[in-house]
Amino acid sequence: MIFSTLELNKNEPIYTQLERHILEGIRKGELTKGSKLPSTREASKFLNVSRNSVIAAYEELEGRAVITTKRGKGTFVSIDGHKESFDYDIDWNKKVNFYGNTLRNLDIIKSELSYEKGMISFKSIAPEEDLFNVDDFKRALLDAWNFEQENLLNYGYAKGYKPLIDYFTHYMESKGVSTYNKDILITNGFTEAFDIILSSLTKEGDVILCEEPTHNTALKIMKSHKLKIVQIPMDKDGIKLKELEEAIKKYSPSFGYFIPSYNNPTGIVTKGERRKELMRLCREYKVPIIEDGFNEELLYSSSPAKPLAALGGEGNGVIYIGSLSKILFPGLRIGWILGDLNLIDTLESVKRGRTIHSSFLDQSAFYYYLKSGAFNRYLRNVRKFYKDKYNLVMESIEKYIDYDYVTGEGGLHVFIKLKNSLDARKLLDICYKRGVIFMSGDIFFENGQGKDSLRIGFGRVKDEDIVKGIKIIGEGIRELS
Ligand SMILES: Cc1ncc(COP(=O)(O)O)c(C=O)c1O
């Protein structure tokens, strides 16, 4: 009797347990093709369960053509487990292409030392979720539902949720950006926007210029598209113009990718005059610009600088990527591309070809949240919160760390260049053992430089841990020196 080895539990419906037991029996070869199953009456009596449960299990298996009932004869197994399934192996590592290998090999979540519970982590530059005004968001979600209803659960438009596009259009205008002859595509954050742009507008071997150092995810994506990355050094006012011009002349780049506000990892804001010169150079040599406008809202000390897209006037030479991920709800994965009307038309088709569109439920809720004014209230609150943390970080660095220089004027991170070429990876090993983790600077450089630097992300670190953690880093530096 196949059911003699079945032990029923109380947590699952009886019929699912019966079904699973029969399937197991077939898989293990205890029930072969043609074996007769106990009648429903016999089984229910034997197991002391209702006959309906047995009937339900048999009907379900019959529906899947696993068993067959022959009138007047009984119920029989109609497949052979051993013959129907067999091990079928592929060596997937051999199949992974350049794209897959690049993204896997540069996946720092897998390759870098990982956060362990209880550690002080300066690794992340994610916002502090305790600050999120969740009640405002819940209301926005309900507003979205009340207004759009089931529409939000059906297919939407590749370009994005129209009210949100309009909102971001006005938002960009409020930053001084002309939207004449331009359009917006909603994406899954900066990361997808950048990937869509590079996939659509570059080819293998094209040169792309960017700051040195720069956002490591952007480096990873550029590499995955087989682009030649040329990094241009920065000083405290932003990218160095002489080096930029030389590189433009030498490489005739296809693009410049710049993070003019609170560059990741340095936190440097490219100053007003530098921005204008950067634009002038790119215009003169016809280098299209991809501007990464993340973090513009988190300014503490310098005066607000206009996006490059604003300096580009009504021209179409700048593609602006917007993301509020460092401030608000990065989990919603909402970003946008503002660019030339015809270009956005193409990118819209690319977006449709890749993911159809970003979630309409999320976009709509985000829109109602932004529209309610909650965002501005929230911004005032978080600016003060992060500014206080930033000041504490800077004070603690002054007090405990012997550095060459420190940069960072806003955002959720600062960057430290160590003295005497001290190895930040060795420092990280020491600190890790003492429960402190940070980002070693080399991941932001294309050519293996930056080994003597580190990024301190502080958005989610408690005040007492900021002081304690930076003190530990300072002690590590003294030991290594
Ligand atoms: C330079 C830069 N741009 C943009 C982003 C935001 O990316 P996403 O919108 O995909 O979360 C980040 C996040 O770390 C960043 O460092």
Q: Is 187 in the pocket of ligand 1 (CB under 6 A)?
A: no
Q: Is 75 in the pocket of ligand 1 (CB under 6 A)?
A: no
CA of 194 from ligand 1 middle (Å) equals 10
Q: Is 264 in the pocket of ligand 1 (CB under 6 A)?
A: yes
Tell me if 237 sits within 8 A of 274, measured CB to CB.
yes
Report the pLDDT averaged over residues 46-57.
Answer: 93
User: Length of the chain, please?
Assistant: 481
Distance (Å, rounded) from C-alpha 409 to C-alpha 266? 9
Nearest residue (by CA) to ligand 1, atom 3, is 294
Q: Is 335 in the pocket of ligand 1 (CB under 6 A)?
A: yes
Please report, for residues 90, 99, 100, 108, 272, the alpha-carbon distance to residue 93 in angstroms, rounded to integers and kept in the order given.
9, 13, 10, 19, 49
Residue 126 alpha carbon, nearest atom of ligand 1: 14
CA of 27 from ligand 1 middle (Å) equals 48
CA of 279 from ligand 1 middle (Å) equals 22
Tell me if 393 sits within 8 A of 455, measured CB to CB.
no
Residue 335 alpha carbon, nearest atom of ligand 1: 9
Distance (Å, rounded) from C-alpha 306 to C-alpha 433? 43
Residue type for position 138: K
Q: Using CB atoms within 10 Å of the CB of residue 337, give its burial: 0 to 12 exposed, 13 to 18 middle, 19+ buried.
A: buried
Query: What pLDDT does 237 receive?
Result: 94
Query: What pLDDT does 476 receive?
Result: 98
Condensed to tens digits (0 to 9), the pLDDT of residues 242-280 reads 999 999 999 999 999 999 999 999 999 999 999 999 999
With 60 as the cut, is the pLDDT of residue 139 above it?
yes
Strongest mean pLDDT among 44-53, 191-200, 407-416: 191-200
Please report, for residues 28, 174, 259, 282, the alpha-carbon distance to residue 247 in angstroms, rounded to integers and kept in the order given.
66, 33, 18, 11
Residue 189 alpha carbon, nearest atom of ligand 1: 9
Around Cβ 302, how many Cβ atoms within 10 Å?
14
- Report the Cα 422 to chain-centroid distance in Å: 31
Condensed to tens digits (0 to 9), the pLDDT of residues 335-391 reads 999 999 999 999 999 999 999 999 999 999 999 999 999 998 898 889 999 999 999
Condensed to tens digits (0 to 9), the pLDDT of residues 343-354 reads 999 999 999 999
Q: Is 188 in the pocket of ligand 1 (CB under 6 A)?
A: no
pLDDT higher at 10 or 430:
430
DSSP string, 203-265: -TT-EEEEEES--HHHHHHHHHTTPEEEEEEEETTEE-HHHHHHHHHHH--SEEEE--SS-TT
CA of 74 from ligand 1 middle (Å) equals 64
Among 371, 146, 383, 408, smallest CA distance to 266 is for 408
Condensed to tens digits (0 to 9), the pLDDT of residues 220-229 reads 999 999 999 9
pLDDT higher at 5 or 245:
245
CA of 294 from ligand 1 middle (Å) equals 6
Please report, for residues 6, 82, 319, the alpha-carbon distance to residue 28 in angstroms, rounded to integers and kept in the order given.
14, 8, 59
CA of 287 from ligand 1 middle (Å) equals 23
CA of 259 from ligand 1 middle (Å) equals 10
Condensed to tens digits (0 to 9), the pLDDT of residues 284-323 reads 999 999 999 988 877 776 567 889 999 999 999 999 999 9
With 90 as the cut, is the pLDDT of residue 478 above it?
yes
Among 97, 353, 339, 110, smallest CA distance to 225 is for 97
Query: What pLDDT does 79 receive?
Result: 87
Report the pLDDT averaged over residues 409-437.
Answer: 96
Handedness of CA 211, 214, 218, 222 (dihedral sign): positive
Report the pLDDT averaged over residues 104-119.
Answer: 92
Q: Where residue 85 falls among pLDDT bands split at 50, 70, 90?
A: low
Packing angle, helices 374-400 and 463-480, rounded to 10: 30
For a mutational test of ligand 1's pocket, the pick from 192, 234, 266, 326, i.e. the residue with the most ligand atoms closer than 8 A to its C-beta, is 326
CA of 277 from ligand 1 middle (Å) equals 25
Distance (Å, rounded) from C-alpha 270 to C-alpha 244? 14
Among 169, 144, 135, smallest CA distance to 359 is for 144
Q: Is 265 in the pocket of ligand 1 (CB under 6 A)?
A: no
Report the pLDDT averaged over residues 125-152.
Answer: 95
Give percent of the chain with pLDDT exceeding 90.
85
Residue 234, both tokens:
């920065």
Query: What pLDDT does 83 receive?
Result: 62
Please report, for residues 75, 202, 205, 399, 447, the alpha-carbon distance to residue 249 in angstroms, rounded to integers and kept in the order given.
81, 19, 17, 44, 21
Query: What pLDDT does 86 receive?
Result: 61
Q: Is 125 in the pocket of ligand 1 (CB under 6 A)?
A: yes
Residue 323 alpha carbon, nearest atom of ligand 1: 9
Q: Is 267 in the pocket of ligand 1 (CB under 6 A)?
A: no
Query: What pLDDT does 295 receive?
Result: 80
Provide the Cα torsion 312, 212, 479, 456; round to 10°.
Answer: 30
Strand (E) or helix (H) holding 388: helix 374-400
Distance (Å, rounded) from C-alpha 123 to C-alpha 410? 17
Q: Is 294 in the pocket of ligand 1 (CB under 6 A)?
A: yes
Q: Is 427 in the pocket of ligand 1 (CB under 6 A)?
A: no
Query: What pLDDT does 84 receive?
Result: 56
For a mutational test of ligand 1's pocket, the pick from 187, 192, 262, 264, i.e. the residue with the most ligand atoms closer than 8 A to its C-beta, is 264
